[in-house]
Amino acid sequence: MKPYFGLARHDGNQSLFDLVEMSIISTYAGLPFHLHAEGLRGTGKTTIMRAAKDLLPKIQRIKGCIYNCDPEKPHCPVHRDLSRAEIEAIGIEEIPMPFLEISHSAKVGTVAGSIDLAKITDPNNPQAALLPGIIPQAHRGIIFVDEINRLADTSPEITDILLDVMGNKPGRIQIEEAGLPVVEIQVQVSVWAASNPDEEPGPLEEVRRQLSDRFDMVVYMGRPGSVDTVVRMLEGSDHAKRETYDEKALRSKNEEFSRQIVEMAETFRNTELPDFLRNLIARVYIKYNLESIRAIEAVQQGAVLYSILKKHKPIMVSDVIDMLPLALKHRVDGDTLLKIMNGLESKGARDSILNIRDRKPGKPKEKDEAFFEGGARRLKDMGRQEIIATEKVLNPSDY
């Protein structure tokens, strides 16, 4: 697989590159950021997400802890009641941020946890113990699920586990095995997923709407839009031109960005959305009868992350507007999304936003809410192609 920075970027996939990098920053900072990439097969969704493993920075954990306990905040059944001195006696080690995958053949025990067969069959000291599954082992890292719409259709039990893991930040998981005490732990993990909504069983929001809503952002992967871009992609895969492919330099760029993630995560921890932008997001939620609080929380988190990734200081109105379609396209119908975006991008809306920002405390309100006039339909099902077309209208430069 090519290094992450060796992958071709174009108008159709730039948003996914941005979101992947934003999610890594947020995950390292301690706040999960869940992503879902949709698009036709062969557009590179899975390739980009898997290649991002090269960017993951190292984390510190209690030595040998399979649950990846943070030495400052131990959470697992083995270490959560230990004193600082006891933890220091065990020791601390550095490991790469976890990146694990859930496959379609995975079982509940594989994903959540099961009986540790190695310990129970140990001839010298047999004992019944739990072996944590993929999700507990991915604590403080990333879980990737390819073709998540198929998983949601065929494995409702695993889907239910993901609902708990993604329902809050941090999430929770319960590990149960007959004859052993139930173990319930917090888990702090970002879930990345990819799917082709045009194939069976269909879009995730139609298969399991609850799970779809758990994703902070959904991006539709477009095709390259220019001949030059396609030519560059072909050159990159041409065996005759492998000599010009400087893999060492690209991997060095991966490592440099991994170091920058640590700095950007610290900036994220210390950055808040300005009140006038938070009020703007809240007004959108109220005016358009949005059903999911997760949607506006995702817009807020995404706007801060996007401003840090793109080095925008201070956070701008455009950062919020850029995040809105990605946070709402899987949660509202296309007509409502179009009304929201058209309203915010109008000159009157921009002037009103600036008035809100610059209003002095105690000053009477102007007609700042004018651009929120008119009703909006509640969530309803909508054809996939119509939603895609709407998103293309909203962000022509992204496709």
pLDDT digits (tens, 9 = 90+) for 308-367: 999 988 899 999 999 999 999 999 988 999 999 888 876 555 555 555 555 555 554 444
246 vs 379, residue with greater confidence: 246
Q: Is 76 inside any structural domain?
A: no
Q: How many domains does the chain have?
A: 2
Q: Is 263 inside any structural domain?
A: no
Q: Is 64 inside any structural domain?
A: no
Which 8-state DSSP code applies to residue 70? Answer: B
The pLDDT tens digits for 181-194 are: 677 889 999 999 99
Task: Kindly state whether residues 51 and 197 are assigned to the same domain.
Answer: yes
Q: Which helix (H) or strand (E) holds 294?
A: helix 293-309
* Residue 228: band (very low, low, confident or very high) from pLDDT cuts 50, 70, 90: confident
Over range 201-208, report the average pLDDT. 91
Report pLDDT for 91. 96
Q: Which residues does residue 96 pair with via DSSP β-bridges, in sequence order?
A: 58
Q: Residue 216: which CATH number?
A: 3.40.50.300
Q: Is residue 198 classed exposed, middle or buried when 0-12, 13-18 and 19+ CB atoms within 10 A define those classes?
A: middle
The pLDDT tens digits for 357-399 are: 555 555 544 444 444 333 333 323 434 444 344 444 434 333 2
Residue 189, domain extent? 4-57+97-229
178 vs 8, residue with greater confidence: 8
pTM of the predicted protein model: 0.83
279 vs 6, residue with greater confidence: 279
Residues counted in the chain = 399
Q: Residue 114: is its pLDDT beyond 90?
A: no
Report pLDDT for 238. 54
Average pLDDT, the chain: 82
Rounded to an integer, what distance in angstroms lies between the CA atom of residue 313 and that of residue 354?
16
Task: Kindly state whether residues 180 and 119 are assigned to the same domain.
Answer: yes
Q: Is 238 inside any structural domain?
A: no
For residue 139, give every residue at least 6 positions away whose Cβ sits within 8 Å of its Cβ, in sequence order, or none: 67, 68, 69, 75, 98, 187, 188, 189
Task: Kindly state whether residues 203 and 282 are assigned to the same domain.
Answer: no
Q: Residue 170: is its pLDDT beyond 60?
A: yes
Task: Kindly state whether residues 136 and 17 are assigned to the same domain.
Answer: yes
Over range 214-226, report the average pLDDT. 86
Pairing assessment for the beta strands 113-115 and 92-96 based on DSSP bridges: unpaired
